């Protein structure tokens, strides 16, 4: 079945179940806090407040409670972060807490392994948007990439991009800690070819951390007009600065408050 037909089929099925909801009808494309990359960003202008609008304030722990999600949203409103990043189950809660705040809602698809089918990723995407998500972070099919099945990887991303089109930008998590240098480059190029809005380093559940070297490589692969998100082990302002100088336009972190206040975080 062609990707377009698959997206339409899944969309119709989900919309039939959600006819009493208005969120999807009201949804508009949002690219919250994305900053156009400019080579040679000066560290002396990368301050805590300027970084805040580049941060996806993240809580993806499986044991996260409703109280913790509500607190995450309150912090995001107070510090004017770009979005909160939560698991799909918590999207409705976040949408309620953040209504009218200007803070977006990122959720994850095919998370954290990327090994679900394209059909499932499309369904997750449409359901998340219907529930109030404004940005989608999807995990690529890492196994297909490492097998050299680049067409499958591209079509997998395309399915999510088409499902989200007109409602939410898509960030593609390539899981850099599992990839060789050439695989990282290919993953970024495939994401760009598939129409994604960002490439992203990591889920935070895999090996390794976001590095300036990986961000530079990713930026070179996608060019200046696509977003690059650094995530995993970004716990202080100095690290965030180095990643931004290397080409990052978005930061994923649970240590967001430490980053913007000059402290040292311990989380994701």
User: Is residue 156 among the annotated active site residues?
Assistant: no
Name the stretches of the chain with pLDDT < 70.
1, 9-45, 265-268
Right CATH for 3-14+43-261 from 3.20.20.70, 3.40.50.9100, 3.40.50.150, 3.20.20.100: 3.20.20.70
Neighbours of 78 (CB within 10 A): 12
pLDDT at res. 26: 44
Residue pair 195/155 in contact (Cβ under 8 Å)? The answer is no
pLDDT at res. 263: 76
Catalytic residue among 156, 200, 214, 242: 200
Catalytic residue among 121, 184, 186, 229: 229
State pLDDT tens for residues 213-260.
999 999 999 999 999 999 999 999 999 999 999 999 999 999 999 999
> Do you know the residue count of the chain?
268
User: Is residue 229 among the annotated active site residues?
Assistant: yes
Tell how far CA 141 is from the center of its chain: 15
pLDDT at res. 3: 75
Catalytic residue among 56, 121, 127, 137: 137
State pLDDT tens for residues 172-187.
999 999 999 999 999 9
User: Is residue 66 among the annotated active site residues?
Assistant: no
Using a 10 angstrom Cβ sphere, with 0-12 exposed, 13-18 middle and 19 or more buried, the burial of residue 25 is exposed
Q: Where are the beta strands (DSSP E) in the chain?
A: 55-59, 83-86, 104-109, 135-139, 170-173, 198-200, 227-231, 250-253
Residue pair 131/150 in contact (Cβ under 8 Å)? The answer is no
pLDDT at res. 34: 52
Neighbours of 165 (CB within 10 A): 13
């Amino acid at each position: 079945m062609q990707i377009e037909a698959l997206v339409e089929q899944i969309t119709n099925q989900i919309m039939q179940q959600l006819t009493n909801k208005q969120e999807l009808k009201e949804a508009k494309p949002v690219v919250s806090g994305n900053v156009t990359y400019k080579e040679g960003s000066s560290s002396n202008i990368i301050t805590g407040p300027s970084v805040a609008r580049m941060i996806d304030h993240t809580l993806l722990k499986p044991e996260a409670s409703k109280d913790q999600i509500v607190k995450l949203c309150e912090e995001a409103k107070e510090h004017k972060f770009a979005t909160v990043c939560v698991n799909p189950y918590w999207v409705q809660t976040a949408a309620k807490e953040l209504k009218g705040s200007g803070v977006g809602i990122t959720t994850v698809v095919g998370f954290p392994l990327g090994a679900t089918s394209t059909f499932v990723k499309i369904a997750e995407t449409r359901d998340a948007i219907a529930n109030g998500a404004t940005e989608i972070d999807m995990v690529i099919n890492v196994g297909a990439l490492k097998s050299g099945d680049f067409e499958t990887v591209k079509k997998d991303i395309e399915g999510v991009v088409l499902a989200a089109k007109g409602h939410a930008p898509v960030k593609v998590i390539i899981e850099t800690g599992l990839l060789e240098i050439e695989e990282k480059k290919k993953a970024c190029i495939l994401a760009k070819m598939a129409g994604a809005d960002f490439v992203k380093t990591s889920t935070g559940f895999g090996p390794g951390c976001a590095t300036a070297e990986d961000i530079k490589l990713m930026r070179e692969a996608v060019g200046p007009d696509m977003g690059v998100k650094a995530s995993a082990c970004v716990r202080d302002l100095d690290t965030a600065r180095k990643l931004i100088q290397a080409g990052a336009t978005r930061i994923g972190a649970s240590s967001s408050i430490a980053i913007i206040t000059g402290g040292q975080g311990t989380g994701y």
